[in-house]
Structure 1
Amino acid sequence: MNILLLGNGLIGSHLRDALLMRGHQVRLLSRRALANPEYKVVQGDFAALQSSADWLPLLDGIDTVINTVGIFAESAGQSFTALHHAAPQALFAACETGKVQKVIHLSALGAGANAPTACLRSKGLGDAALMQSTLNWTIVRPSLIYAPDGASSRAFCSIASLPLLPDLQGVGKVQPVHLHDVLALLIRVVERPVAQQQIINAVGPQAMPLTTWWQQLRQGMGMARAITLPIAACLQNIAAKSAMLPLFQPDSLIMLRSGNCSDAAPFAAILGRAPQAAAPVNGSARDALLGWLLPLLKLSMALVWLGTAAVCLWAWPRADSYQLLADVGIPGAWQPLLFYGSVAMDSVFGLLCLLDLQGVQARSWRLQWLLVLAYSIIIAIRLPQFLWHPFGPLLKNLPIMALLLMLDLLSPSKTKPNS
């Protein structure tokens, strides 16, 4: 079967591979995908194809169109209206003109004209445009998708691995669905003559409170049940507005509070089996734990550097600081320069830690490690009393250096292979 696949994200990329394994001919529309001998890549911007005339050349020889394009938040050049409504509407009109045999459109559970968020309302407009056509269409509306390699799923697993599990007060039930089940459904719709012009809600086997799902994620990662900590709605709103947790923006909270559930029986009937649990199977908690431990460690290093700079500048007697520099062998004329220079360097490293915490790859961990090593060697030689001090002020640099080495080796530039 000749298939035009739109979207190369989490679902689109997995579906592409599954279709190729089953012998289908895939034509992929993408802004970034590179040429590949296994499938044809058409470079193009989905959002820019706003008329049926724009789409007709892409449909030449195509039997089935699968649209997996979607965004959760708008950005420059990517709006809900363009991606979820205008471009799909033009696509569906072109499919009618081009006599495409089947159109499969990936939407979202809860999409509709009266949905509580702009994202779901725009999805609803796109669905309506397809339903008004004469095409052989299937709209798939998945619930919250669990995918072992998905960014949002990894974030949910990290939350689930916290020592105290947040219990968000006032949120509705969720019914997460496993990516494998969504892919199985899409393959079945592509290859088999299921009922025409139907909406399929792809949901997990049961609806449950969000906290219950997090406990299931813990169990799947081999972790014991966690104690829950109730989080009032007002605190959730503060966190959402401050962008402290990317998964819990105002719109995502609105969706959670409105519920995200449906009857699983129709979905199971098409699959020919019950949906599987949306949780790891014999998984590891390592990556989930690192999801929140690494930010915590980065924040702790920022506080060490900034706290040290503040203590030196305002709390510790300046004369005592200069005396330490004199004991190291620094001439009096150079002491103010080195003092303020070290304060400035500590401050810069603290700010770089905070930038890294925000996702800006400052790549300063190795420089910090070298500075701590230099401090430690100089102090051990010139001020050996700190080496043998019962509080171990110098020996504590050893775990700090080990931490800096770990942060350097786990930085994205070190862990991701070159493409």
Structure 2
Amino acid sequence: MRILLVGGTGLIGSAIYGRLSAEGHECVLASRHPVTAAGRHHITLDLARNTDSSEWKGVLAGVDAVINAAGALQGQDMRGVHVAGSAALYAACESMGVRRVILFSAIGVDRDARSDFSRTKQEGEAALMARDLDWIVLRPSVVVGRPAYGGSALLRGLAALPILPVMPDTAAIQPVHLDDVVETVVFFLRPGAPSRVALELAGPERIAFSDAVALLRGWLRWRPAYRLHLPSWAASAAYRAGDVAQMLGWKTPINSTAQAEMRRGATGDPEPWRQMTGVSPRELADELAREPASVQERWFARLYALKPLIFGIFGLFWIGTGIISLGPGWNIGMSLLREGGLQERFAAVTVTAGALADLVIGLAILWRPLSRYGLWAALIISLTYAVIGTALVPRLWADPLGPMLKIWPVIMLNLVAMAIREDR
């Protein structure tokens, strides 16, 4: 079959792509994120902007089935992704004769829509169900597999902490294994498979979110963590910090939308799913036992919580140096440049330019769309500072505070930030 896979670069979409490609299907990936891997037929498009059904007709040419695994938790145009763009896609499917459409929604949105995420997911389901199509709506709980992204990555990151923060008013979840989700998609793509059904994809075990974290901590071979029950004000502050990160372009599963969703929980009845498809949901503990954690998983878990600190502190470091250079450190900078033989006017221009460059670099590092360029600029300017400082004031290498020596740890942190910047 030729299958259009919308949102094919995410956790679920990538796994579906791998399985279907291995079985001989031709998958066309459509996502906002460009894909450079060889052998992948990819279309870069923003679902939130493709809200006219005519825009989809060229994409759907020759397509036998559509899988919509696109989603936006917060910080994006959720209505555009879940409703307007998706509805245009479904209308185009109907007019082009593409009968089979599989939509990934979220568990519980049909019962309790607590956030814009839930409400738009619910409206997206209705837009599909209103069409004369062979539709299937899949509502997974928290999806856990070998790869990690979003909520599953958060579980691993929290598992690495020696003190586990337990959020108040957090309901239970029923983690579902990624392979079971993919197997369900394969089932519904087979000839004669049922259609016009909505299924909850929930694991067999209902557990507290903190207990799921504890299971993963054991899988990562660390001793049980001390559980710290956060007061409501501290939990709210953490969610609001996530909102700020979203405003700066960073995708984080900790935000006010997640707060509302975690209060509802992610539970459901897996029995209809089991009876219809024959897929027997796996227990999280059993699957973790089958695949022991490697050192790569331990690295990822530890770096997950450090990543926002690395970018936050590194960006503020550059902003701080710029502010200090223009303020209390002005005379020190000027004296060093005069010592190096620069004239007063040229020294003032140099200090000002360097300070402004530091401010711009720091702001770029903090803002996700420009962070790559900010990190490259920081690396280049750090090396430039080392060269100029050596040429003008070589005695700084012998300074007991080590201003020249400390450039190299800064450069190493810069390289670490560049290495872990990617989210997918």
**By the TM > 0.5 criterion, same fold?**
yes
- Once residues 194 and 167 of structure 2 are traced to their aligned partners in structure 1, the CA distance between those partners, rounded to angstroms, is 39
Task: Give the equivalent residue in structure 1 for 2:279.
Answer: 272
Task: Give the equivalent residue in structure 1 for 2:382.
Answer: 368
- Once residues 383 and 38 of structure 1 are traced to their aligned partners in structure 2, the CA distance between those partners, rounded to angstroms, is 51
Q: Residues 79-121 of structure 1, C-alpha deviation per residue, up to 9 Å, x if partnerless?
A: 41x4323444444455455554432221111223851112211
1:14-413 aligned at under 5 Å gives the runs 14-30=15-31, 46-47=47-48, 50=51, 55=56, 59=60, 61-73=62-74, 75=76, 78-80=77-79, 82-96=80-94, 98-112=96-110, 115-152=113-150, 153-191=152-190, 193-242=192-241, 243-244=243-244, 246-269=252-275, 270=277, 272-277=279-284, 281-283=292-294, 284-297=297-310, 302=316, 306=320, 314=328, 345=354, 349=358, 352-353=361-362, 355-359=364-368, 360-361=371-372, 362=374, 363=376, 364-365=378-379, 367-368=381-382, 371=385, 381=395, 387=400, 393-394=401-402, 398=405, 400-412=406-418
Cα gap change, 1:57/1:289 in structure 2, threshold over 3 Å: closer, same or farther? closer
Matched-pair contact (CA < 8 Å) for 1:68–1:105? yes
CA shift, 1:7, in A, is 2.9
Q: Residues 56-96 of structure 1, C-alpha deviation per residue, up to 9 Å, x if partnerless?
A: 56555543332223222354xx441x432344444445545
Secondary structure class of the residue paired with 1:169: coil
- Once residues 313 and 240 of structure 1 are traced to their aligned partners in structure 2, the CA distance between those partners, rounded to angstroms, is 34
Matched-pair contact (CA < 8 Å) for 1:27–1:41? yes
Cα gap change, 1:376/1:204 in structure 2, threshold over 3 Å: closer, same or farther? farther
Percentage of matched positions with identical amino acids: 23
Matched-pair contact (CA < 8 Å) for 1:174–1:210? yes
Q: Which amino acid aligns with 1:257?
A: R
What root-mean-square deviation, in Å, do the aligned CA atoms of Structure 1 and Structure 2 show? 4.4
**Higher CA-based Rg:** 1
- Once residues 304 and 345 of structure 2 are traced to their aligned partners in structure 1, the CA distance between those partners, rounded to angstroms, is 41
- Once residues 293 and 47 of structure 2 are traced to their aligned partners in structure 1, the CA distance between those partners, rounded to angstroms, is 39
CA shift, 1:165, in A, is 1.8
Secondary structure class of the residue paired with 1:26: strand
Q: How many residues align?
A: 400
Q: Which amino acid aligns with 2:114?
A: P
CA shift, 1:170, in A, is 1.3
Structure number with higher relative contact order (C-alpha < 8 Å, ≥ 6 residues apart): 2
- Once residues 286 and 233 of structure 1 are traced to their aligned partners in structure 2, the CA distance between those partners, rounded to angstroms, is 31
Matched-pair contact (CA < 8 Å) for 1:168–1:230? yes
Matched-pair contact (CA < 8 Å) for 1:8–1:30? yes
Task: Give the equivalent residue in structure 1 for 2:248.
Answer: none
Q: Residues 9-47 of structure 1, C-alpha deviation per residue, up to 9 Å, x if partnerless?
A: 313333223212101233444566579995755666544
Secondary structure class of the residue paired with 2:180: helix
When structure 1 is superposed on structure 2, of 274-283 and 19-28 the one drifting more is 274-283
Cα gap change, 1:40/1:372 in structure 2, threshold over 3 Å: closer, same or farther? closer
- Once residues 53 and 344 of structure 2 are traced to their aligned partners in structure 1, the CA distance between those partners, rounded to angstroms, is 73
Secondary structure class of the residue paired with 1:410: helix
CA shift, 1:408, in A, is 3.1
Cα gap change, 1:311/1:64 in structure 2, threshold over 3 Å: closer, same or farther? closer
Matched-pair contact (CA < 8 Å) for 2:3–2:66? yes
CA shift, 1:240, in A, is 2.7
When structure 1 is superposed on structure 2, of 273-282 and 212-221 the one drifting more is 273-282
Cα gap change, 1:375/1:13 in structure 2, threshold over 3 Å: closer, same or farther? same
Matched-pair contact (CA < 8 Å) for 2:159–2:216? yes
CA shift, 1:409, in A, is 2.5
Gaps (5+ residues) in structure 1?
388-392
- The TM-score, its normalising length taken from structure 1, stands at 0.75
Secondary structure class of the residue paired with 2:18: helix
- Once residues 179 and 145 of structure 1 are traced to their aligned partners in structure 2, the CA distance between those partners, rounded to angstroms, is 6
